[in-house]
Amino acid sequence: MQTEVVLSLGGNKGDREKLLFRAIEGLNDHFQLLKVSKIFETSAWGGVAKGDFLNQLVIISTEFEPEDVLEIIREIETNLGRTREEPWGDRTMDIDILYYGEKVINTGKLVIPHPFIEDRRFVLVPLAEVLPKKEHPISGKNTLRMLEECNDLSQVKIWKK
């Protein structure tokens, strides 16, 4: 059975736009792409990374289990030069699973929905573009309401459509 999975992509090292394109190519090799948001430029979040990020949201369809999706996206990140030296540090590519259908998962290794969706403007702005009425399976709030209530005031601007 196919499940709709919402992914957030972002990076601030190297040729950011090219790396987003290559990440989407990698995703397309394993999953059916349903929708891709515009590219947004955002300031770093979390106080560690230095350069501005390019972020994009991708919706895929898959028969893979959540743990298998995580393994595949980690492989794509590694192939694009991702290292895991510092949490929230600079990176070539970061791919987060925001939603896996309506599932709620917390295995320690994998938490879905992503625990910081409601806190990150760089996630909520592209999410509002493609899934404005998507309801968070725990809070029950839709994307537009989460964006309206978000305390993150960082600027998120369109890079490319």
Q: What is the mean pLDDT of the chain?
A: 92
| Architecture per CATH, 3-160 | 2-Layer Sandwich (3.30)
pTM of the model: 0.92
Instruction: Look up residue 64 and give its DSSP letter.
Output: S
Question: 135-148: string of b/e by CB count within 10 Å (b at 16+)?
Answer: ebeeeebbbebbbe
With left for phi above 0 and alpha for psi between -120 and 50, is residue 66 left, alpha or beta? alpha
| pLDDT value of residue 90 | 79
| pLDDT value of residue 91 | 83
Q: Which of 38-47, 83-92, 108-117, 146-155 has the lowest mean pLDDT?
A: 83-92
| pLDDT value of residue 46 | 60
Q: Please name the amino acid found at residue 110.
A: L
Share of the chain above pLDDT 90, in %: 80
User: What distance in Å separates the CA atoms of residue 131 and residue 1, rounded to the nearest whole number?
Assistant: 22
Indicate if the pLDDT at residue 154 is higher than 70: yes
| pLDDT value of residue 44 | 75
User: Which of the residue ranges 10-14, 88-92, 141-145 has the most confident prediction, judged by mean pLDDT?
Assistant: 141-145
pLDDT tens column, 21-63? 999 999 999 999 999 999 999 887 665 557 899 999 999 999 9
| pLDDT value of residue 43 | 84
| pLDDT value of residue 87 | 58
Query: What are the domain boundaries of the chain?
Result: 3-160
